[in-house]
Structure 1
């Protein structure tokens, strides 16, 4: 298995490529989707707030071109890094795919072209989250060891229960001029119908382009958030989703932290099931304490998950994909985000190198 690093769009430059290489990464997962954040970006030197609070405005308006993707891959290669995956379609690319709106077919055509562009550029995985509400309700606080700042969920809140305004999906505004009001609530069956349609349209293109589509489970993994149903809120449901299409290009962006947070989950049994069926694209490594609706993210060595046991399971099934530290608590000092991620990278690398 390989060790990678996830970088946000503003980090896709030589400084952060050198950092990733120095910390032991060989592969990069690139978050090209970013947004203008409407609250502060969180404490420290990196936007802990990016996925934990506030809302934003989707910046991208056009599908990422082959030329852009090829240049990005080339730049990383010059720093000794492999571009393993892109993570998250911009809501501006596919809001009507999620909402079953009038532009669905046009937007699906754009996503198909993006997958073809990725295949031509030799980028093997597209990570995505088929979610209306996105990440909501999480808070930031001194939850981790030594009062390090991390994120968590502290019971049900207004942020979890408030309906989604028109013109927004995934906590990002795609239409500033949308009429007042909220998007209509739907049932779980309708969400699955929309998702199945997406798969039926996209998987043949992904197979042709030799690109895997890797689904992240909804986080926080509750059955409903902001009056909308969720995908992959329990390992059994995640397994059912993977059985919707038996293509080797329909896989998971497996997030250990999200699975551990699920009520009634056994993260080791879930990992065994997915690994033996070759349904894992790449893995987010993150440790937590507790389960929804009350959990806190912890240091990689200090949560409910025995990371050594995780590596043993992956070795057992000869997983050869990429592991990336997902979130990490921010360590006190001049570079809180970098220090926290460096700690996670070192611990993960040591486990990978010692457990055979």
Structure 2
């Protein structure tokens, strides 16, 4: 079963109140997505944030995006052990504060990629696009010297090191798919782009604390049957990104949540039937709507209000059918 969640800023503003007005109390902290360049949280940062949210009637459910994993770790380069120790302490701090999920990714060199942010959609709204043909050229990334097996060795080493710490801290790890889920991007190898890849991740360290962020848009770009994948990974889904696309990993556009290629009611039925209790599900990459300036594409407020209402309606229907 899933529970609606929202990215909220670390400091209170009207979005905290709007969340509660919508009946959403699960909070996701992802500073990059709200224009904050923070890359590390100290224990005092985490404790202070949790105290503020709790006092406001909100629950700090997930930290994602701004977690201390360097490319030295992702590529298995010299210095990774020092950086892994930093991440281990971060997990201990999250556990002590009571933050149950840490979402992370394994995209080295080039991270999330979009090539347009003013693609016109329904009613003149704007959505984002990725087109692999538009990201070619330029000097090679330093990460392009790595191989797919370099990244696999680094990830498997990382999981062997950190999963026992996550278990002891009571924190669940939720690995996000590569976005876009391609074999490579601008010459940099990528490895988290298929169901088989996640099977290898989960077998690298078998633990309920080694799991995934089920980003529906990325699984759709993989040409994966979404309900089947949800059932397949159910016990390891610790966090859900509710979004949809039209297209594939070579070229896609984000869509309104009710207009993409995925049967979203079937997806919600699968989450409700197979996934563990109260897994946070947040809307992702929403359209920019009338009156919004598109300065933060995919993360303005009105599209998220629409998405939460849509998610709650789908969940109500799925639960009524059980």
| Fold conserved between structures, TM > 0.5 | yes
Residue of structure 1 in register with 2:245 after alignment: 288
Residue of structure 2 in register with 1:348 after alignment: 311
Residue of structure 2 in register with 1:304 after alignment: 261
CA distance in 2, matches of 1:147, 1:225: 30
Task: From the two aligned structures, give the one with the greater helix fraction.
Answer: 2
Pick from 43, 49, 53 the counterpart of residue 72 of structure 1.
49
Asked if the contact 1:143–1:296 (Cα under 8 Å) also holds between the matched residues in 2, the reply is no
Residue of structure 2 in register with 1:197 after alignment: 157
After superposition, the Cα gap between the structure-2 partners of 1:350 and 1:137, relative to the gap in structure 1 and judged at 3 Å, is: closer
Asked if the contact 1:311–1:351 (Cα under 8 Å) also holds between the matched residues in 2, the reply is yes
CA distance in 1, matches of 2:140, 2:168: 36
CA distance in 2, matches of 1:102, 1:203: 21
Q: What is the CA-CA distance between 1:354 and the residue it aligns to?
A: 2.8
Encode CA deviations 1:44-93: one digit per residue, 9 max, x unaligned: xx76xx9xxxxxxx654xx42222111111111122111101002456x5
1:3 paired to 2:19: no
Equivalent position SS for 1:284: strand
Equivalent position SS for 2:285: coil
Pick from 92, 101, 112 the counterpart of residue 116 of structure 1.
92
Q: What is the CA-CA distance between 1:200 and the residue it aligns to?
A: 0.7
Residue of structure 2 in register with 1:179 after alignment: none
Pick from 240, 246, 270 the counterpart of residue 206 of structure 2.
246
Q: What is the CA-CA distance between 1:332 and the residue it aligns to?
A: 1.4
Across the two proteins, how many residue pairs are aligned to each other? 311
Pick from 216, 220, 223 the counterpart of residue 176 of structure 2.
216
Where does structure 1 lack aligned partners over 5 or more consecutive residues?
Answer: 35-45, 51-57, 166-181
CA distance in 1, matches of 2:193, 2:138: 19
Q: What is the CA-CA distance between 1:335 and the residue it aligns to?
A: 7.0
After superposition, the Cα gap between the structure-2 partners of 1:26 and 1:222, relative to the gap in structure 1 and judged at 3 Å, is: same
* 1:1-356 pair list within 5 angstroms: 1-7=2-8, 12-33=11-32, 59-60=38-39, 63-90=40-67, 94-132=70-108, 133-157=110-134, 159-160=135-136, 162=138, 165=141, 182-262=142-222, 264-275=223-234, 278-320=235-277, 321-334=279-292, 337-356=300-319
Where does structure 2 lack aligned partners over 5 or more consecutive residues?
Answer: 295-299
TM-score scaled to structure 1, two decimals? 0.81
CA distance in 2, matches of 1:236, 1:162: 32
Moved over 3 A (4+): 160-165
Q: What is the CA-CA distance between 1:268 and the residue it aligns to?
A: 2.1
